[in-house]
Amino acid sequence: MDFSAATEAYRPELLAHCYRMTGSLHDAEDLVQETMLRAWRSAAAYDPSRASLRTWLYRIATNACLTVLAGHHRRSLPAGLSGASTITDVAKLEIREDLLWLGPFPDALRPASDPAAIIESRDSIRLAFIAALQYLPPRQRAVLILRDVLALSAAETAELLETTVASVNSALHRARGQLAAADPSPEGLTEPDDAAEQDLLGRYMAAMAAMDVEALKQTLREDALLQMPPFPAWFSGRDAIAAFMSTVFARGGSFRFVPTRANGQPAIGLYRQRDDEAYRCLHIQVFTFDAQGIARIDGFHDKRLPAAFGLPAVLPA
């Protein structure tokens, strides 16, 4: 067996697994590299009669994640930290780079849909689900992911985590209860079909390009949410978002957009030009759509993200 080639085949699903565990693409990439290094160092000790290569790699990756997560604060989104902002002037918002923020995951990096490679539902990578996972203690998080996302048996999970089936079942019960309490799905969400989704995204981009606050409001649900880490401020409701965006538009410039996808959801790279310069990627916006309009916009300001999404950092004027 070509050990390196065999382990590399599992890199995409290990990356998704480490992302679910940590809430950070960049941490997940480092942890997968660590997993591959540990696997290479332990290759001579690997016994295929005791565990499949996939299970063995997941054991290494999960343990690497648990080590990193020990004693760390959870990654968050602004809406999980405080109440909605009453300050809508973009010039008055603070930036908190010192906080651990949740990040998006490019769909292009997700595992192949082959069920032999990974058993994965679309909801298992959505931002709301990933954010809710961060509320769980690391070992409960690992148990829930291994059991409910990867569909491992209680016995397989117990062996992987070097614990008992009873402990796994107890942890899974507690994790499911906490996850339900976190309510990862927007209330009353009814997703539109693909055509309606594309129409809604098109109207949103047109409103942004025209800097038309009223047209923008027409794309939003009345109770829409907007958040943009590393800004801890977030906005709840169509009117609050419109008030904030009016201060953004007042700063001038112009916008361009490159559609993409993240966390199984529609997304765009949003580019802004000022003073006739090139268009620079301002952030990645990830959308949660509803038949009534946009339910949620998560905008991520991180200079490393365009490259991770295969997007240019700069578009020509």
- The pLDDT tens digits of the residues spanning 192-230 come to 888 999 999 999 999 999 999 999 999 999 999 999 999
The tokens of 248 are what?
């953004």
Q: How many residues does the chain have?
A: 317
Cis preceding linkage at 230, omega within 30: yes
The tokens of 52 are what?
């499949």
Answer for the pair 272, 280: CB distance below 8 angstroms, yes or no.
yes
Of 75-84, 122-131, 208-217, 220-229, the poorest mean pLDDT is in 122-131
pTM here is: 0.92
State the average pLDDT for the chain: 91
Quick count: other Cβ atoms within 10 Å of Cβ 116? 7
**pLDDT bucket at 111, cuts 50 / 70 / 90:** confident
**Residue 117 confidence (pLDDT) above 50:** no
Beta bridge partners of 272: 255, 280
**pLDDT bucket at 95, cuts 50 / 70 / 90:** very high
**Residue 65 confidence (pLDDT) above 50:** yes
- The pLDDT tens digits of the residues spanning 280-312 come to 999 999 999 998 999 999 999 999 999 999 999
Name residues whose C-beta falls within 8 Å of residue 251's C-beta, 6 or more positions apart in sequence: 90, 91
Phi/psi at 228 (nearest 5 deg)? -145, 70
Q: Which residue has the higher pLDDT, 270 or 126?
A: 270
pLDDT of res. 119: 43
**pLDDT bucket at 172, cuts 50 / 70 / 90:** very high
pLDDT of res. 116: 39
- The pLDDT tens digits of the residues spanning 6-53 come to 899 999 999 999 999 999 999 999 999 999 999 999 888 888 888 889
3-state SS class at 233: strand
**Residue 113 confidence (pLDDT) above 60:** no
Give which of 163, 176, 105, 101 is closest to 136, Cα–Cα.
176
Name residues whose C-beta falls within 8 Å of residue 63's C-beta, 6 or more positions apart in sequence: none
**Residue 259 confidence (pLDDT) above 80:** yes
Domains of the chain: residue spans and CATH: 1-72 (1.10.1740.10), 194-315 (3.10.450.50)
Instruction: Find the mean pLDDT for residues 87-102.
Output: 93
pLDDT of res. 192: 82
3-state SS class at 305: helix
Q: Which residue has the higher pLDDT, 112 or 269?
A: 269
Of 101-115, 158-172, 254-268, the poorest mean pLDDT is in 101-115
**Residue 263 confidence (pLDDT) above 90:** yes
pLDDT of res. 183: 63
pLDDT of res. 265: 93
Please calculate the CA angle 249-254-256 and round it to the nearest 5 degrees.
120
Answer for the pair 226, 248: CB distance below 8 angstroms, yes or no.
no
pLDDT of res. 36: 95
